[in-house]
């Protein structure tokens, strides 16, 4: 076999694609890193799994929050439709209701019901928490789900598909499905 004297060049944009993949994976793994820190080596795959959570309950998200956030983020780009609760379209509370339902937790269907019927957040917001705002829509309430530091996912209104955006100030209240403070 004769080796070619023409040098091989990487595909254009290959480095950028790797950077994007690594950034996305880091963002998805971020909430789980603190739970893995300090675990001793050994056991299956080199990790000994503790019987109790590695971090205190005050620092972890509500049970099922990661599944709810993953579900809600997967709906990005789907159209807004008032009263819709998926799978092809959502209104704001239909999105949060469906996300927590996918995580195995039944919550009230409307933004007002979620604000009134779920435990209030005391302290910092965590992924999976719901923030409720006033709105000019028919229900006078709008709800979005916290997905990470300073970010939320929402079905904002007519003509705007489900999207991830910066967390806005001035919300009426924040609640935590699944409880825990």
Q: Which CATH class is domain 62-175?
A: alpha beta
Are 74 and 66 in contact, with CB atoms under 8 Å apart?
Answer: no
Task: Give residue 137's pLDDT.
Answer: 73
20-29, 57-66, 70-79, 86-95: which has the minimum mean pLDDT? 20-29
Of 158, 171, 168, residue with least CA distance to 90: 158
Residues 90-125: pLDDT tens digits?
999 999 999 999 999 999 999 999 999 999 999 999
Task: Give residue 149's pLDDT.
Answer: 87
pLDDT band at 164 (very low <50, low <70, confident <90, very high): very high
Alpha helices in the chain (DSSP H): 14-36, 65-74, 92-102, 111-117
Where along the chain do its domains lie?
62-175
Cα–chain-centroid distance for residue 6? 48
């Amino acid at each position: 076999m004769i080796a070619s004297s023409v040098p091989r060049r990487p595909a254009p944009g290959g480095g950028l694609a790797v950077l994007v993949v690594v950034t996305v994976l880091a963002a998805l793994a971020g909430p789980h890193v603190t739970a893995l820190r300090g675990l001793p080596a050994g056991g299956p795959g080199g990790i000994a799994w503790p019987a109790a959570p590695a971090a205190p309950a005050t620092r972890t998200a509500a049970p099922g929050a990661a599944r709810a956030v993953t579900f809600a983020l997967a709906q990005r780009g789907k159209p807004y439709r008032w009263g819709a609760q998926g799978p092809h379209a959502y209104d704001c509370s239909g999105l949060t209701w469906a996300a927590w339902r996918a995580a195995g937790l039944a919550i009230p269907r409307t933004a007002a019901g979620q604000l009134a019927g779920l435990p209030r957040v005391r302290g910092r917001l965590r992924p999976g928490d719901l923030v409720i705002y006033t709105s000019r829509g028919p229900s006078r309430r709008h709800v979005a789900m916290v997905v990470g530091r300073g970010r939320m996912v929402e079905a904002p209104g007519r003509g705007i598909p489900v999207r991830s955006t910066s967390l806005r100030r001035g919300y009426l209240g924040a609640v935590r499905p699944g409880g825990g403070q």
